[in-house]
């Protein structure tokens, strides 16, 4: 059984070459923390999330989640919730089928799945549209569905890739509040990518430090983008 | 603001286009089909029990037609589905284009060449003659699979590469394994493509003529198409029996066509992404390339068997020069008339509900059925035994029109109105504005449509078999006749020519999009 209140993500000497530069990461995130990953465009923020989630492989280093070494585990076995920038809802499934997708994979009976999802949908004002097609949802609704879908998989870590980027400013501030509220209900470590300082100020408990360094190796220089705390 | 002259010329253009479309559909489809139905319904009521429609022999042909079409479709899907799925996993976009061209090529190969190739393998002196499959249902199914499995694979491949990558990745992060991903994420995207291509393949197998005629070896391998043909052109003339077969054939081909339309309206339009390739999926490129080439490899044997030295003999050249001229003339005429008809359909744009359905109707009618209808409707002027170039042309255009219309319709939906208006405000005439803004978009597709129409005409057998005469024998018919006369070497040499011509046209169509874009960039 996962204890959402005592989770810990630890990245040690993670590195990966992404195009013309390398990214490196060394940090820890604990339960209850919401850490912002801020940096210029193309510095490797999304790549880092993809490495942690297992969608891409690291070239070196170690990722531990609750003392489990997950460095070489495939994405589907890491127990990490990932909210994509474009929400990535499944258009062939309706709203409730989307949010309970992970429970269906775990073979949880339908009635139980829906019972588990209902409180989350009520909290986010989506309960009355639970059987609607996700293709008719607004940008804000899509992001909420994606977030609940990730939480209902009972992840040990939450990763959010620019979760508010497609929303207008009024909706953004509402969504920020809602995200903090929802995270308090499932307070696993949370790491999110953003470009907006307002997101950092209203959501993050801390931010990762970011450095761009130049390393010499075999008489050639290469840029290293490093994320650390 | 348009001037009076411009309004008048635009009205004239639209009226002429509408008139041509009205003539095309009335004369080319409705009157012939009406004449066919009239002949069937004219049968005296007291003989209902003995109606030709329910003749046990005809009913057994209906059953056999269904059986062969279902079997051919089933085996095509069985091979096409995994092949398409594997091809879509290729990580490199360049390899993906190559694979899609490889999968598209077999579809452009004329049926008479496929029949020739299967005969070279399974015929009495073929490489696999010992299997005993020659001139049987198995040979017919094999030929259908060679043609259609890559078509199904192409549909699946194109549908799979358009699945947004984030959806696949999201399912992975939610714990879905390979099968769960396929079942819940990929399958909803693939099912419509599989359904529509399977229905098309079924319909094509029902309408298959040359393959059954050449490879079936006669009864009991007889389908409605060959039955119609033999009741008109072989043995004693039996128009009523042919009309009864045509009625069943219409039912079998129109039902899939209506089903496809009915479902296409209701099919869920799922989110599609610009084709993107997942570098993590590292299926070795050569594996899908090899698998896709398997459907082309059998044709290579034609080169081995064909007596290509015949090409250097003057007797051979003299013998084919007439049919070659007929084929080229027919292909050119079909390309031009198809284009004009498709453009007329777009210009006339009837506000009629269901116009789209009407314009694709010819795809649901077999050429032989329509040809029989032509004879019944225009028998006073048209005798199949005297040959008719016009009838061949009209029948072939009805086959190529739906494809041309659909290709150009998609293009017409993206008219660049703001750019056209901008050109007009800068002093361009409507023609200059069109040539500057729209023509660069239309040029490529128009050439492709013309090439496809010419390719279809070059390999078409049914219309030419019905309306040929000794002075009007196109190349595919000559191949089929030479095979019937056991002149296999000549037939193979000619089949190689047809194979090269049609494959080159298909390859040009498949690659011309890229080529034309490159030309635009250079200019």
Q: Which residue has the higher pLDDT, A142 or B508?
A: A142
Q: What is the pLDDT at residue B270? A: 58
- CA distances in angstroms from B413 to B172, B343, B354, listed in the order given: 37, 13, 17
d(CA B257, CA B249): 12
Tokens coding B63: 């059953």
The domain made up of A4-91+156-228 is a member of CATH 3.40.640.10: no
pLDDT band with cut points at 50, 70 and 90 for residue B354: confident
Question: Which distant-in-sequence residues (6+ apart) come within 8 Å of B355 by Cβ?
Answer: B349
Q: What is the DSSP string of B309-366?
A: GGGG-HHHHHHHHHHHHHHHHHHHHHHHHHHHHHHHHHHH----TTHHHHHTGGGGS-
* Residues B449, B339 contacting (CB under 8 angstroms): yes
Selected residue of B162, B173, B274, B282 to mutate for chain A interface (largest A Cβ count, 10 A): B173
Nearest Cβ partner of B173 from A56, A82, A86? Answer: A82
Using alpha carbons, select from B411, B413, B412, B444 the residue that is nearest to residue B513: B444
Tokens coding B486: 């056991």
Q: Does the CB of B130 have a partner CB in chain A at under 8 Å?
A: no
d(CA A114, CA A122): 12
Q: Is B29 part of a structural domain of the chain?
A: no
Whether B99 and B202 map to the same domain: the answer is yes
**For B264-312, how does the pLDDT look when each residue is reduced to its tens digit (9 = 90+)?**
766 655 555 555 556 555 555 678 888 888 898 888 877 765 567 777 7
Question: Which distant-in-sequence residues (6+ apart) come within 8 Å of A107 by Cβ?
Answer: none
Partners of A92 on chain B (C-beta within 8 Å) are 184-185, 188-189, 268, 270
**For B122-169, how does the pLDDT look when each residue is reduced to its tens digit (9 = 90+)?**
887 778 888 878 788 899 999 999 999 999 999 999 899 888 888 999
Q: Does the CB of B2 have a partner CB in chain A at under 8 Å?
A: no
Measure A71 CA to nearest chain B CA, in Å.
14
Tokens coding A201: 């100020």
Partners of B186 on chain A (C-beta within 8 Å) are none
Task: Round the CA-based radius of gyration of chain A to a whole number and report it.
Answer: 18
Q: Cis ω on the peptide bond leading into residue B107 (within 30° of 0)?
A: no
Whether B358 and B309 map to the same domain: the answer is yes
**For A60-119, how does the pLDDT look when each residue is reduced to its tens digit (9 = 90+)?**
999 999 989 999 998 888 999 999 988 888 888 899 999 999 998 888 999 999 999 999
pLDDT band with cut points at 50, 70 and 90 for residue A215: low
Measure B163 CA to nearest chain A CA, in Å.
10
Selected residue of A47, A83, A91 to mutate for chain B interface (largest B Cβ count, 10 A): A91
Partners of B169 on chain A (C-beta within 8 Å) are 55, 75, 82, 84, 88
Using alpha carbons, select from A180, A102, A90 the residue that is nearest to residue A142: A90
Asked if the model's pLDDT at residue B523 lies above 50, the reply is no
Asked if the model's pLDDT at residue A217 lies above 80, the reply is no
Nearest Cβ partner of A81 from B167, B173, B184? Answer: B173
Q: Does the CB of B280 have a partner CB in chain A at under 8 Å?
A: yes
Whether B96 and B203 map to the same domain: the answer is yes
- Quote the mean pLDDT of chain B: 84
Using alpha carbons, select from B338, B327, B292 the residue that is nearest to residue B497: B327
Alpha helices in A87-222 (DSSP H): 95-99, 101-105, 110-123, 139-152, 169-185, 197-203
Whether B405 and B476 map to the same domain: the answer is yes
List residues bridging with A217 in a β-sheet: A220
* Residues A123, A180 contacting (CB under 8 angstroms): no
Chain mean position to CA A184: 15
* Residues B335, B518 contacting (CB under 8 angstroms): no
**Strands A209-217 and A60-65, sheet pairing:** unpaired
Partners of B268 on chain A (C-beta within 8 Å) are 91-92
Q: Is B45 part of a structural domain of the chain?
A: no
Whether B121 and B269 map to the same domain: the answer is yes
- Which positions in chain A have a beta carbon within 8 angstroms of at least one beta carbon in chain B? 53-56, 74-82, 84-86, 88-93, 101-102, 104-106, 135, 146, 149-150, 153
Q: What is the pLDDT at residue B280? A: 59
Average pLDDT over residues B454-475: 90
CATH of the domain at B265: 1.10.3720.10
Whether B273 and B329 map to the same domain: the answer is no
Whether B308 and B291 map to the same domain: the answer is no
Q: Is A219 in a helix, a strand, or coil?
A: coil
How many Å is the maximal CA-CA distance in chain A? 63
**For B226-263, how does the pLDDT look when each residue is reduced to its tens digit (9 = 90+)?**
989 888 877 677 888 889 899 999 999 998 888 888 77
Whether B284 and B136 map to the same domain: the answer is yes
| Helix B137-161 and helix B93-104, axial crossing angle in degrees, nearest 10 | 150
Q: Is B9 part of a structural domain of the chain?
A: no
Asked if the model's pLDDT at residue B49 lies above 50, the reply is no
* Residues A199, A164 contacting (CB under 8 angstroms): yes
Q: Is B270 in a helix, a strand, or coil?
A: coil
Tokens coding A8: 């810990």
Domain that holds residue B189: 53-296
Whether B292 and B249 map to the same domain: the answer is yes
* Chain B: residue whose CA lies nearest to A146: B170
Q: What domain count does chain B have?
A: 2
List residues bridging with A158 in a β-sheet: A81, A190
Q: What is the ipTM of this complex?
A: 0.79
Asked if the model's pLDDT at residue B486 lies above 60, the reply is yes
A-B contacts (CB, under 8 Å): 80
Q: Is B103 part of a structural domain of the chain?
A: yes
Dihedral angle sign, alpha carbons of residues B194, B197, B200, B202:
negative
Q: Do A55 and B173 touch (CB under 8 A)?
A: yes
Partners of A86 on chain B (C-beta within 8 Å) are 164, 166
d(CA B156, CA B77): 10
Asked if the model's pLDDT at residue B70 lies above 50, the reply is yes
Whether B323 and B267 map to the same domain: the answer is no
> Up-side HSE of residue B61: CA atoms within 13 Å toward CB?
27
* Residues B443, B320 contacting (CB under 8 angstroms): no
Q: What percent of chain B has pLDDT over 90?
A: 33
Tokens coding B444: 């490529």
d(CA A174, CA A191): 19
d(CA B143, CA B119): 10
| Helix B439-459 and helix B475-484, axial crossing angle in degrees, nearest 10 | 20
Q: Do B173 and A77 touch (CB under 8 A)?
A: no
Kindly report which listed range (B182-186, B261-265, B451-455) carries the lowest average pLDDT score.
B261-265
Average pLDDT over residues B80-84: 94
Q: What is the pLDDT at residue B521? A: 37
Q: Is B511 part of a structural domain of the chain?
A: yes
Q: Is B65 part of a structural domain of the chain?
A: yes
Tokens coding B361: 């109707």
Strands (DSSP E) found in B4-138: none
Whether B401 and B312 map to the same domain: the answer is yes
d(CA A211, CA A196): 18
* Chain B: residue whose CA lies nearest to A155: B174
Q: Is B32 part of a structural domain of the chain?
A: no
Q: What share of chain B is helix, strand, coil (3-state, %, to 5)?
A: 80, 0, 20
Q: Is B1 part of a structural domain of the chain?
A: no
* Residues B87, B99 contacting (CB under 8 angstroms): yes
Whether B339 and B323 map to the same domain: the answer is yes
Q: What is the pLDDT at residue A34? A: 95
d(CA B330, CA B337): 10
Q: Do B167 and A88 touch (CB under 8 A)?
A: yes
Q: What is the pLDDT at residue B520? A: 41
pLDDT band with cut points at 50, 70 and 90 for residue A200: very high
Using alpha carbons, select from B205, B240, B255 the residue that is nearest to residue B225: B205
List residues bridging with A62 in a β-sheet: A12
């Amino acid at each position: 059984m996962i204890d959402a209140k005592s989770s810990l993500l630890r990245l040690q000497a993670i590195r990966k070459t992404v195009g013309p530069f390398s990214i490196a990461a060394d940090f820890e995130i604990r339960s209850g923390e919401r850490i912002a990953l801020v940096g210029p465009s193309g510095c490797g923020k999304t790549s880092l999330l993809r490495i942690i989630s297992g969608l891409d492989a690291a070239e070196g280093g170690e990722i531990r989640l609750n003392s489990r070494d997950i460095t070489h585990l495939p994405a589907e076995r890491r127990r990490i919730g990932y909210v994509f920038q474009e929400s990535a809802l499944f258009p062939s499934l309706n709203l409730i089928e989307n949010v309970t997708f992970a429970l269906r994979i775990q073979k949880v009976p339908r009635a139980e799945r829906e019972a588990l999802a209902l409180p989350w949908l009520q909290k986010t004002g989506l309960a009355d549209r639970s059987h609607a097609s996700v293709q008719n949802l607004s940008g804000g609704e899509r992001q909420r569905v994606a977030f609940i879908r990730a939480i209902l998989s009972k992840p040990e870590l939450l990763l959010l890739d620019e979760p508010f980027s497609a929303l207008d400013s009024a909706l953004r501030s509402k969504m920020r509040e809602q995200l903090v509220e929802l995270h308090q209900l499932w307070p696993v470590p949370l790491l999110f990518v953003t470009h907006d300082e307002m997101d950092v100020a209203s959501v993050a408990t801390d931010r990762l430090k970011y450095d761009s360094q130049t390393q010499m190796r075999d008489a050639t220089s290469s840029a290293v983008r490093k994320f650390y705390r | 603001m348009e001037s009076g002259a411009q309004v008048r010329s635009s009205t004239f253009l639209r009226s002429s286009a509408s008139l041509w479309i009205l003539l095309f559909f009335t004369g080319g489809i409705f009157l012939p089909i009406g004449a066919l139905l009239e002949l069937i319904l004219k049968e005296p009521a007291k003989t209902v029990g003995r109606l030709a429609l329910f003749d046990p022999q005809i009913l057994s042909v209906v059953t056999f037609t269904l059986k062969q079409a279902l079997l051919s479709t089933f085996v095509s899907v069985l091979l096409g589905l995994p092949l398409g799925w594997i091809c879509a996993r290729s990580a490199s976009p360049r390899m993906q284009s190559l694979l899609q061209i490889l999968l598209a090529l077999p579809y452009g190969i004329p049926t008479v060449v496929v029949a020739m190739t299967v005969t070279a393998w399974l015929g009495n002196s073929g490489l696999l003659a010992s299997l005993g499959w020659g001139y049987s249902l198995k040979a017919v199914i094999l030929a259908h699979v060679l043609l259609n499995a890559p078509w199904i694979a192409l549909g699946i491949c194109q549908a799979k590469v358009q699945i947004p990558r984030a959806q696949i990745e999201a399912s992975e992060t939610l714990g879905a394994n390979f099968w769960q991903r396929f079942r819940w994420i990929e399958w909803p995207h693939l099912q419509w493509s599989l359904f529509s291509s399977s229905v098309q393949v079924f319909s094509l197998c029902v309408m298959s003529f040359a393959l059954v005629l050449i490879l079936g070896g006669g009864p009991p391998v007889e389908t409605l198409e060959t039955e119609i043909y033999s009741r008109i052109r072989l043995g004693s003339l039996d128009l009523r029996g042919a009309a009864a077969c045509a009625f069943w054939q219409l039912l079998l081909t129109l039902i899939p066509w209506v089903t496809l339309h009915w479902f296409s309206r209701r099919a869920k339009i799922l989110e599609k992404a610009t084709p993107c390739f997942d570098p993590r999926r590292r299926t070795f490129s050569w594996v899908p390339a090899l698998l896709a080439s398997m459907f082309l490899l059998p044709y290579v044997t034609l080169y081995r068997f064909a007596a290509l030295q015949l090409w250097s003999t003057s007797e051979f050249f003299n013998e084919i020069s007439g049919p070659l001229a007929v084929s080229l003339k027919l292909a050119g005429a079909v390309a031009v008339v198809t284009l004009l008809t498709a453009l007329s359909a777009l210009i006339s744009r009837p506000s009629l509900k269901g116009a789209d359905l009407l314009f694709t109707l010819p795809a649901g009618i077999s050429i032989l059925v329509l040809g029989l209808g032509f004879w019944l409707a225009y028998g006073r002027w048209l005798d199949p035994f005297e040959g008719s170039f016009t009838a061949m042309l009209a029948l072939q255009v009805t086959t190529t029109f739906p494809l041309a219309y659909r290709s150009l319709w998609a293009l017409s939906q993206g008219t660049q109105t703001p750019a056209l208006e901008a050109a007009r405000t800068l002093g361009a005439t409507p023609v200059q504005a069109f040539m500057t803004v729209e023509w660069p978009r239309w040029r490529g597709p128009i050439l492709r449509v013309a090439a496809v129409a010419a390719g279809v005409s070059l390999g078409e057998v049914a219309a030419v078999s019905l309306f040929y005469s000794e002075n009007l024998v196109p190349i595919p018919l000559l191949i089929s006749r030479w095979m019937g006369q056991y002149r296999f070497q000549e037939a193979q040499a000619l089949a190689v020519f047809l194979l090269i011509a049609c494959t080159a046209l298909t390859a040009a169509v498949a690659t011309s999009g890229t080529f034309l874009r490159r030309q635009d960039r250079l200019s």
